[in-house]
Every structure is written in structure tokens, then in C-alpha cells.
Structure 1
Amino acid sequence: MATRTTTSKNSQAAPLRVGLLGTGPWAQRVHGPALAAHPGVELAGVWGRRPEAAGKLAETLGTRAYADPDALFAEVDAVAVALPPDIQAELAARAARAGRHLLLDKPVATAPEAARTLLEAAADVASVVFFTLRFSTATEPWIAQQAEAEGWFTGRAEWLGTIYAPGAQSAYAASPWRHEKGALWDVGPHALSVLLPVLGDATSVTAARGPRDTVHLLLRHTSGASSAATVSLTAPERAGGVAVEFRGETGAAMMPEVWGEGPVVAYGRAVDALLTAVRTGTPHPCDLRFGLRVTEILAEAERGLPASA
């Protein structure tokens, strides 16, 4: 596997050469700036499905655009992906087969078969999946604290997005895959990323439709606890927000409302996690195995949903 040896941002080792795949709003606002600013990384290039957008983003970030993703893979040690999930799965598998480490976004795919193929391709490389709450400076330690506690009885997660609310204006509303797959696949991974490490893997999941694209999930967990999650991208603007709560023998615990310094900082911490995984060979808790499990649970929920009216 032709990759450079790297380490954390405080080391003197050569920086990890990373290629960015994707040019949309998330790549422009989060992935690109975080990679360009990270002291342990050299942002070596950008590829996108729209060459003109790739050229513009590369110029903004002070790097070069590539017309062919495989040409970019040949020049880097790792790829960071900001693409729709099923495009991500295919390209990330190609990069992994070329020996490139992976920094992915959630969900890793919307089909379990594609996620399993990606995991097989990435057997010899490090991987980290960017679940925002697992890397934000306020929520990451809170989740770890709850995971160490015992005796949880139930959990509740609500992620009520408003990007498709009447009158709302969001840069992400034009995303075809979000419009097609809805909240279950866009923000459902966020809810699971908090519930699973605290309550254990899901042993069963039941799903029901709510208003518009809203989905309600009921889960049983290996700990014996149960949880409920409500996810939406179409909530009224005044109803939007995120809340997570656990209740058990020690009482109730509410997730901090302020997550930290924002997604760029959180993504920088995900880059740190990838650097550590590359250096040590120790898988991160949010690696592709966890990403696959999230896809499997959401796919099971989707199969159980009644047809929309």
C-alpha cells in the first residue's frame, strides 16, 4: 500500500496528502476549509463531477483541480469525500483499492450491499466517518460520559430539520439525494450516532411515517434499553431543533444544546482521528464498520415503512 507515514498534528512527520472529492455546499463550507487549515494535512487536490466547480473550489483553497478521480488517487495518501452517499461508496471503494485512507461523510451508502463492498475494499486502510456530534467539542465528551454510565432505561433523539419547510431557504435544499431519500437518511445517521454508543447496538427497529418526510423510529438495544427517534427535514421553522435525552438509574441526561465551535472545528477533529488511526493502526469507533451498521439499521427501517400517501 503506497501511503505516507503520518501522525498527529504535533508531530514532525510528513503531512498526510489528502484529495477532496466533491464541490457542493458542504465541501465548500466545511470539508475544504478544514482540510486546508489543518497542520497535519496537505490538501493536494480537488475532484468534482462539475469541472468548473472543482476548478473554482481548488482556486479558493489554494490547490489544484483534477479532471479524473483516479489521477487524484495516484497523488495522495487519503481521500476526503463530500458526495452523495451512493456515489461516495463507489468512489471510496476505488480509492481504498488503490491503498488510500478514507475520511467519509454519513451515511456511507444507502444500500447495505454497497456499504459492505466498501468495507471489504477498505480492509487494509484506515477509515473515519464524520458524524458531526461524535466530533464536536461539547457533544463528543458528553456522549462518552453517557456511554460509560450503566442502567439506562430509555433514550430519545429528535432531529427536526427545516431545510424543506415552507419559505425556508437553505443551500442544501437543492440536493437531489436529500430530496429523494429524506430525513431518514440525511439526519437519521446523526440520531443513531448518539443512541448506539450509549445504549448498544440495535436488535430491532420499527419505523412509522409522520408529516411530510418525518419518520419515527422505535429501537431495542443490546443493553435491554429502548429508544425513540424522530427525524425530519420538513419541520416548521419555529419547530426545528435537536434534542437527545437518556433516562435511567442515575436520572436524566440531556445533550448540550451548544455543540461546540461549529462543523469546521468538528471536521478538523475528524481529521485528527484519521491521522491517529493511520499512525497507530487502531480503528476509530466511527470507522466504516460503524458506518455500515448505521446503513443496515436505516435500510431495515426504510423497508418497514408503509408506502407514502
Structure 2
Amino acid sequence: MRIGLLGTGPWAQMAHAPALSGHEKLDFAGVWGRRPEAAKELAERHGVRAYDDVDELFADVDAVAVALPPEVQASLAVRAARAGCHLLLDKPLAPTVEQARAVVAAAEEAGVASVVFFTPRFQPGPAAWIAEQAAVPGWFTARAEWLGAVFTSESPFATPWRREKGALWDVGPHALSVLLPVLGDVRRVTAAVYGPGDTAHVVLDHAGGASSTLTLSLTAPPAAAGAGVELRGEAGVAALPDGSDGAVPALMRAADALLDAARTGRPHACDAAFGLRVTEILTAAQDLLDGRSRAARPGRFSAGGPVTAPGRS
């Protein structure tokens, strides 16, 4: 499968390009970016072509991997799908439900495969744990904490879209990608409030009868950073194991999943439709945060344009 990379930022440099160039079943064909000089530099580093015209890249490849801000990703994913390219996407799929639905519709109409990269779902330990716990009945509640120090350390990921959207949209998708297959879909976002900085506390009611709480932050003190999920129920207590093998091997497994979905025609569990559902839940939480916090936090971590939350007409 010939694959092109869209994006030239830190994530593209540190994860996507090494994963694509090191994958035995992918032909890494080229790079396109919004900064031509950066695209040229990244392409030269991996011995591939730098494209000035993104549509020319679409015409030359079978698939694209995207390492761009969510809004840019969503619009380009639609164009790539319509050009017949399979999609290896990043989370969140899109910043609005409308844009996420457009990606899903374009992929379905074109008959292309899609995989959204939720890191824990492509790490062996966490992925096996999720599958095991999904088969265990009687979960009562869950607690997920995803605490980053992006804005309290010298992080290359303190990007404009993260400053605008905050932890809910950056690390919230990871937490949801773990909880949804275990506890079932979210029936209702029952509460969402801000804590320090961009910290968001979210309470979810799941279809399986359990509730969960999420604590999400990109402004945690560096010494407090880390992620964890704990389940409690009839079987006792279970904790998500660490995924210790890094982003590049996980991205290579996501590429394996895309290859399999493209070959068989069977959608992957983390396809664009799942990315849409995550976007719907994040939007419902953002609506609650905006409604309760707009007066106290004018202009901070803006949610962007209007969207439709789950359960609303």
C-alpha cells in the first residue's frame, strides 16, 4: 500500500514518519504540509518526495496518514476519501459533530477503510486488558485520569489547537477509547465542570448501567502527570496496565489495522464511525462546560462553533 503523510509538526516527525517509513508492508511515498519548507525537510529525512499539491499526493497513493489539527484533518480527510484514499487518522476525528459526520459519509460513499489512532487501543497490554474487561459482567463504576503537563513544561505539543480546545479534546478521546468498549456507549453526560487551568471533570452514564468519571488535564504539574483507568464491580477492581512500547510501534499496529480493513472490507473497531461517536460525547461535555463556565472563563479553551450533542434534535 502506497501511503502519504499529511503534516510536518512534532507528531508527524516523532511518530508518523518513522512508523510509515519503518513498516514492511507500506510504501511511504511522500509528505505534504502547510509549510512547504518543513515538508521538504521531513521528506528528505526519510528519502521520499515532498508534495506542493495535496491533490497530487492523493492521486499518487492508496492511503494517507494525517498528523494535523482536527479541523484541518477533517476537511482533508473528506477530500482524500473522495479521491479513493484509505484513512489513517488521529484523534479527535474533528472538532465538531458536523465535520466528523462528513468524514464518515465520505469514507462510506467512497468505500475506503478508516482507522483513528487512539493510542491505548494499539498497545498490546492495554488492548488485551480492554478486551478482557469487556467480557467481564457487573462493572459498577470506573475512574479515568489522563493528566498531562503540556502547558506546564517545555513540551513541543503546546500547539494552538490544544490551547483552544484543552484537555477534554486532546486526552479525553483516549479515556473514552478505553471506557466505551468496556462499559458500553454513553447514554448521557451527566456533569462536566472545570478544575484548575484546562482541567475538566466529566461524569458519564453508560448503557451497561455503570457510571464513570473522567479527570482530564494538560496543565497538571509535571510531577503529577500520568494516566490511569480503574474499574470496580462484582469481579473486584481492575486497573489499566501501562503501554510501554511507545507511539511508533502503536502507530505501526494502527497501520496494520488499516491494511486489514482495506483488504477484508471489515470495519475496524476504531474506525471513523467510532471517532464520530467520541466527538459526539466530547461535544455534549463541552456544551455543559460552556453553559456552566462561560461567565467565569471568557475566551479560555473555546469550544468553537455550534454542534449537536447526543440526544438533541
Equivalent position to 1:181, from 159, 165, 170: 165
Q: Deviation per CA, 1:59-88: give whole Å up to 9, x if none.
A: 111101000110000000000000000100
How far apart, in 2, do the equivalents of 1:264 and 1:228 lie?
29
Whether 2:4 is the aligned partner of 1:19: answer: yes
State the alpha-carbon separation in 2 of the partners of residues 171 and 60 from structure 1: 19
Paired position in structure 1 for 2:135 = 148
| Bigger shift: residues 27-36 or 141-150 | 141-150
Q: What are the residue-to-residue correspondences of 1:125-136 with 2, within 5 Å? A: 125-136=112-123
Aligned-partner Cα distance in 1 for 2:126–2:184: 18
From 83, 101, 108, the equivalent of 1:98 is 83
Aligned equivalents of 2:95, 2:143: Cα separation in 1? 23
1:191-230 equivalences in 2 (<5 Å): 191-205=175-189, 206-230=191-215
Shift of 1:148: 1.3
2:126 aligned to which of 139, 152, 174: 139
Q: Percent identity?
A: 62
Shift of 1:149: 1.1
Give RMSD over aligned pairs: 0.7
Partner of 1:13: none
* Unmatched segments (≥5 aa) in structure 2: 298-313
CA positional deviation for 1:150: 1.0
Distance in 1 (CA, whole Å) between partners of 2:271 and 2:116 is 6
Q: Deviations over 1:140-164 (max 9, x none)?
A: 1111111111111111100010011
Counterpart position of 2:304:
none
Distance in 2 (CA, whole Å) between partners of 1:149 and 1:68 is 50
- For the 8 Å contact 1:137–1:260, the answer to whether it is kept is no
Aligned equivalents of 2:222 and 2:24: distance in 1?
Answer: 38
Q: 2:226 aligns with which of 236, 241, 245?
A: 241
C-alpha deviation, 1:19, in angstroms: 0.6
Query: How many residues align structurally?
Result: 290
Measured in 1, the distance between the counterparts of 2:279 and 2:225 equals 24
- 2: distance between equivalents of 1:157 and 1:163? 18
CA-CA distance at 1:238 after TM superposition: 1.2
Runs of 4+ that moved beyond 2 A: none
Q: Which residue of 1 aligns with 2:305?
A: none
Question: Pick from 267, 271, 284: which aligns with 1:300?
Answer: 284
Q: Distance in 2 between matches of 1:100 and 1:243?
A: 35
Q: How many angstroms does 1:199 deviate by?
A: 0.2
Contact 1:103–1:130 (Cα < 8 Å) also in 2: yes
Which residue identity is paired with 1:201?
D
CA contact (8 A) 1:18 1:41 kept: yes
Give the AA of the match of 2:184.
Answer: G
Q: 2:65 aligns with which of 51, 65, 80?
A: 80
Q: Which residue of 2 aligns with 1:252?
A: 237
SS where residue 164 of structure 1 aligns? coil
Q: Distance in 2 between matches of 1:164 and 1:262?
A: 21
Distance 1:17 1:149 in 2: 40
TM-score normalised per structure 1: 0.93
Gaps of 5+ in 1: 1-15
Q: Aligned residue for 1:42? A: 27
Which residue of 256, 263, 268 maps to 1:279? 263
Instruction: State the Cα distance separating 1:260 from its structure 2 match.
Output: 3.0
Structure 2 residue identity aligned to 1:136? Q
